[in-house]
Structure 1
Amino acid sequence: MTRFEFIVNGPPVSQQTRRPHRLEAWRNTVRQEAEKYWSSEQKTATGLVMLQITYFYDSDKMDVDNIVKPIQDAMKGLAYVDDNQVSDLLVRKRNLSNNFRIENMTSTLAEGFARGNEFLHIVVIDAPNQEVII
């Protein structure tokens, strides 16, 4: 795997939700959206990966750490064999009404902004060198 990215309309559902049916529906939504972007040339990663998640929101009360686990679980068997392969995480929230600059905008990320609503941009890449700690 070199890079796999996709977008999902938000808002996400927290791992801490008290409504398990909502959590399961959210995992299914993430998986279905990921499958739309998955190409037959891509291979499921068998080594360590880095997961990058950016939640672009209008109004939000969710902690970033509660966003991660349902997305990790939804990607099992597609982008990677098991979520224990995720060795590195980068999770961000950005308010759509704030000013920010995006460097190296991909067409997938541009598609998310073009939708005109809250969304998550999710990227799975090969993990960085495990011998180097920054």
Structure 2
Amino acid sequence: MHDWDDDLAVPFPLEFTIQATPRSLQASKSARETWKSMVGEAARNRIAASREFTFLDERPLSVTIFYFPPAPMQGDVDNIVKPILDGMRSIVYRDDQVIERVVVQKFEPGVYVEFNSLTDMLQHAAAMDPPMVYVRVSSDTSWRRVP
């Protein structure tokens, strides 16, 4: 049993895309803030498409970030994570302390990748011209069951 109303909570899994180059921790403060605003707006729009009103609860979440760059990525893939998580704060969750798991991967041009299953949103992201960032936030904690 949980203490949130499924009709009012943020609908998970939540998927959205941003067709832009993510900003890293090394970007200027202005560039990082602009990027975080883009992330927040994309998340807000996706939530609004399914719910008029939501409240933020404390359930544990996992985040998947896939980046499709237009050329080999400059910099480290781990540096794009924090600005993306910060951009979703107060929109998808109150505080990123509820994030228990983050999966991040880059898919550079010319590197063959085979997806076993694609959601409609991930299929859209993979088919678009890069740069493209795909984000999925999930409340499914099945990953906690370690074999």
| TM-score, length basis structure 1 | 0.86
Unaligned runs of 5+ in 2: 1-10
> Which residue number in structure 1 is paired with residue 66 of structure 2?
54
Q: Secondary structure at the residue paired with 2:107?
A: strand
How far is 1:131 from its partner?
A: 6.1
How far is 1:132 from its partner?
A: 4.4
Mapping of residues 119-134 of structure 1, within 5 Å: 119-126=132-139, 128=141, 132-133=145-146
The answer on whether the counterparts of 1:72 and 1:83 sit within 8 Å (CA) in structure 2 is yes
Q: Please say if 1:15 is aligned against 2:43.
A: no
Separation in structure 2 between the aligned mates of residue 101 and residue 32 of structure 1, nearest angstrom: 30
Mapping of residues 1-134 of structure 1, within 5 Å: 1-17=11-27, 19-38=28-47, 39-40=50-51, 44-59=56-71, 60-126=73-139, 128=141, 132-133=145-146
Separation in structure 2 between the aligned mates of residue 22 and residue 131 of structure 1, nearest angstrom: 35
Q: Identity over the aligned pairs, expressed in percent?
A: 26
Q: Which amino acid aligns with 2:111?
A: N
Q: Secondary structure at the residue paired with 1:80?
A: coil
Q: Secondary structure at the residue paired with 1:36?
A: helix
Larger radius of gyration: 2
| TM-score, length basis structure 2 | 0.79
> Which residue number in structure 1 is paired with residue 7 of structure 2?
none
Unaligned runs of 5+ in 1: none
Separation in structure 2 between the aligned mates of residue 83 and residue 3 of structure 1, nearest angstrom: 16
Deviation digits for residues 11-52 of structure 1, max 9, x if unmatched?
A: 1100122x1100100001111111221121765342110111
Q: Which amino acid aligns with 2:94?
A: V
Separation in structure 2 between the aligned mates of residue 4 and residue 130 of structure 1, nearest angstrom: 17
Normalized per residue, which structure has more strand? Answer: 1
Moved over 3 A (4+): 41-45, 129-134
Deviation digits for residues 35-79 of structure 1, max 9, x if unmatched?
A: 221121765342110111011112211212111111111111222
Paired positions, count: 133
Structure 1, 97-106 or 5-14: larger mean CA deviation: 97-106
